[in-house]
Amino acid sequence: MNDYLKDFDVPAKHPSPAALQKWRNAVSLVKNPRRRFRHVADLAKRSIHQNRLNKIKEDLRVTFIAMRAAMRFIDAGAHPKNSHEHPQPKDVTPSEFRKNPEKLSSMVRNYDMKTLRSLQGVNGIAEAVDVSINEGVKSSDLSTRQETYGFNKYTEKPSKSFLMFVWDALHDLTLIILIVCAIVSIGVGLATEGWPNGIYDGLGILLSIMLVVTVTAVSDYKQSLQFQDLDKEKKKISSHVTRDGCRKKVSIYDLVVGDIVHLSIGDQVPADGIFISGYNLLIDESSLTGESDYVHIDENKPFLLAGTKVQDGSAKMIVTAVGMKTEWGKLMETLSEEGEDETPLQVKLNGVATIIGKIGLVFAVLTFLVLTVRFLVEKAMRGDFSSWSSSDALSMLDYFATAVTIIVVAVPEGLPLAVTLSLAFAMKKLMNDKALVRHLSACETMGSATCICTDKTGTLTTNHMVVDKIWVSGEIKDVRDSEGRVISSKLSESVLTILLQGIFECTGSEVVKDKDGKTSILGTPTESAILQYGLDAGGDFDATRKDIKILKMEPFNSAKKKMSVIVALPDSQTRAFCKGASEIVLGLCDKIIDGSGEAVLLTEEKVKLITGVIHEFAVDALRTLCVAYLDVEGDSENSIPENGYTLVAVVGIKDPLRPGVKEAVETCLAAGITVRMVTGDNINTAKAIAKECGILTEGGLAIDGPEFRTKTAEELNEIAPRIQVMARSSPTDKHNLVNHLRGMGEVVAVTGDGTNDAPALHESDIGFAMGIAGTEVAKEQADVIVMDDDFATIVKVAKWGRAVYINIQKFVQFQLTVNIVALMINFVSACITGSAPLTAVQLLWVNLIMDTLGALALATEPPNDGLMQRSPVKRTDSFITKTMWRNIIGQSVYQMVVLFVLNFAGKPILNLHGANATAILNTFIFNTFVFCQVFNEINSRDIDKINIFRGIFSSWIFMAVMIATVVFQVIIVEFLGTFASTVPLDWQLWLLSIVIGLVSMPIAAVLKCIPVEKTRVNEHHDGYEILPAGPEQV
């Protein structure tokens, strides 16, 4: 089978257009392209949209370059020395913007610096939109602003109605042919048999088609609703704004013109706006223009465009345009039409469907030819070949309808769609488990993951940080007692003042009060912990900020691992503060505050002492940071100093391990998934946490980023499989580790939250971004967003990924068995007896059981714990395994033997006599065939294990499908005989049908005892053996 599927192989991530086109060219015999390829990207349309998008970006790029050149020219003419000679005329009034919102939006879009200056800058804009820069928008004005300036929402394609899905289902070519056959049958029947007997055969086919179309449309419509829910979750992005004088978090779709938005590293600019204030703001405009160079934004270049990303720095901006009035809004309208790439499993099953469809087509043609030739020969032998009646035409029509129905059954259109159904179901369940799957293929690929490279902070730990210990003035002080209460620290006033200045000024977070006066901290957990310590130590954040003016700031980022700021003190002294990774900040210091509160020289002996303190904190699993200061002489506009600091304190922050992480790591190890911690923390802190949660084991390797960078490719090949902890790593280290592991054949999942993690998330097989701590840049590059930042959630994704794969295998096993039996029984019977025991209506019902209903029952089974006790499925493994072929062939042989015996010797065996004996026998064969499928569907719940009833009652969809199938079968046989060509059966024949179907269950148990594949036992890096992947004899 693998040889035939070589054209149906695409990478799970970033497939090339050539690879996507290759399998499309290989697909043939598609009954309903509209339905089958609904979840497949339209490459022709995508190409058109991509060209359109590139043209828009190129136009924007040229426009922006021209505008910036014009701005530089204007700036040169408006040099300060000439400003008094040529005062800027105020030719625009604020009231004009209230009357004409388009003028306000075009000012930013066109980089209209002249208009901005004529309004006296951002303060004039605030006046124009009637907002206070300090207080922000009033909540009571929101609806008025939305009516005046518009909503921050983009044009989207309307969702499809249920009737559209019915229309799609009716585009099945074979169903269209059957509808034509049914109409012709009704016409001929009325002419020959009259009303109402002449309409029953044709009406039966029409009713069956209506049932198939309705069930199919309902299933597809529910899938679409699930995807709509997922899309809504994907679009939930928040921004920090100042409203009613308070800083708060709101959805970007609730932003209005006039909102004061706070931007920080990794944020997406949510709307067009103008820079108010900020520090070192670098903007990535590549999403709009395709240009990779970052743009520095300040008072001289104040225009910010929606959709761009904050690469570095922080700022405040005032919103001037929202929604479709921005260039980003117009681009979003284009992007929404592209469609998503298909998954490898969808492609592979399209290949399987193509192969089986071709076989089915051959059997359908042969069946029609055999029936037709036999009919013609018999007619010739009777000597009435030259005379044709309407009944002869009906017979030929029945043969044709039977052949077409065989194609309906034989072409497993539901195979690729079952993948979509299973993935949609899994994604919906994962959303409830706090995992938002952004790309379908990620859930599927995670089932094959062999390695997870995870962050520490917030993923393995709670991210609820508190300062636990602090080294200051030469001694270690406990900050909290055993019950978590704050202990008063007796520090000299001068030391405490400098420490609190460093804490409150060198921070990107804020202490805010709500309407009730309750204090809260907005910022990262690490910053929040240090600020809370400052407040507990008696500091006043607002008073300190009011007295001290920030002159320059370099926000923290994961590359520098520190944050620096220059401030002007009340006594006109200029001071720099630095806070960050302990060993990095310590390396910038040449003085230290001693026990008496005086700054003394930092000798080698004192460096060893402080390094020992850092080590002691780290061994206790505390995250360590240093705070240092430097009094700056001369021009404060120069760059922030990089040495000469005085060390004030070493802070030890406690971040407890998340509940359940240890068990989640053990689950990964049992599943053959290696867990590697990649963190920016001190190596001793990382090792302590890794040992506590079971990641670092005997024989495992802990390495830091600087040492990792020095290794050659050969050395990395040797040590990479043993690396369990990488500390003090940069985003580049993480990226290189991921690439190296992938090059060694690993399927790598990686977590990330920062802007600089984007390359590693992009290159990994599965990228996980943190929903709470993660930046918008990281989320955009991720395949899955972990909404609770919990490592255990990642393990749930792995479990569901494996469930999707195994569920599709179950469905394929079940469907292939039905296909083989239905094809063979009709074909052989046609060859020998000249008639097919299963009519068109009956085959349509069987198709519904094995296609839509079968997919619902088997492709939506929830995962069980046993899935995480076997090795990951290798990418090179055959999808249809030898174990599956064993089960398919065994069940098919049993069913064919039973049905052939009944077909050729059923009357004497069942002691059937009389005029309706043939009708009873054919009904009994149909009934037995259906019950064989019902019990085989239960057998298919587990491919390997004998105990197929485990968890059956927890899978309510499976139970509902089983009950519905049996109920409908009773109705068809007992009450719809006129339409379905059946007759009512007595209780003995009903019981015998059920017993024959039930016998397939012990046969399945016997089959599962036959070994067909070698049992693989993998040994993990810690020496512990993975459970075998073969059958579990239960």
CA–CA distance, 495 with 492 (Å, rounded to integer)? 5
Rg over alpha carbons for the chain, rounded to the nearest Å, is 36
Tokens of 279: 């520090």
Neighbours of 1021 (CB within 10 A): 16
Q: How far apart are CA 713 and CA 147, in angstroms?
A: 61
534: closest CA among 550, 519, 517? 519
Selection from 615, 616, 639 nearest residue 565 by Cα? 639
Name residues whose C-beta falls within 8 Å of residue 409's C-beta, 6 or more positions apart in sequence.
Answer: 360, 818, 819, 822, 823, 843, 846, 847, 850
Tokens of 615: 């080590």
Q: How far apart are CA 90 and CA 98, in angstroms?
A: 17
- CA dist., res. 753 & res. 761, Å (int): 9
By CB neighbour count within 10 A (0-12 exposed, 13-18 middle, 19+ buried), where does 161 fall? Answer: exposed
Cis peptide before 196 (omega within 30 of 0): yes
Q: Are strands 295-297 and 272-284 parallel, antiparallel or unpaired?
A: antiparallel
On whether the CB atoms of residues 264 and 312 are closer than 8 A, the answer is: no
Query: Has 455 been annotated as catalytic?
Result: yes
Chain CA centroid to CA 574, Å: 49
Render 964-997 in DSSP notation, one character per residue: HHHHHHHHHHHH-HHHHT-----HHHHHHHHHHH
Beta bridge partners of 365: none
- 847: its two tokens: 């198709």
The two tokens of residue 851 are 């296609």
Q: How crowded is residue 608: how many other Cβ atoms within 10 Å of its Cβ?
A: 10
Note whether 414 and 851 are within 8 A (CB).
yes
At position 142, the amino acid (one-letter code) is: L
| The one catalytic residue among 168, 172, 284, 455 | 455
Distance CA(444)–CA(464), nearest Å, equals: 32
Helix (H) or strand (E) run with residue 510 in it: strand 510-513
Task: Give the residues across from 733 on adjacent strands.
Answer: none
Residues ≥6 apart with Cβ < 8 Å to 701: 719, 722, 723, 724, 725
Task: Give the rounded distance of the alpha carbon of 518 from its chain centre.
Answer: 37
d(CA 957, CA 858) in angstroms, rounded, equals 9
| Residue 143, helix vs strand vs coil | helix
Name the nearest CA neighbour of 689 among 673, 706, 702, 699: 702
DSSP string spanning 786-804?
A: ETT--HHHHHHHHHHHHHH
User: CA angle at residue 909 from 907 to 910, to 5 degrees?
Assistant: 65
Q: At 339, which amino acid appears?
A: G
Please tell me whether residue 957 adopts helix, strand or coil conformation: helix
Give just the sign of the alpha carbon dihedral 524, 530, 532, 538: negative
- Looking at the annotation, which residues are catalytic? 455
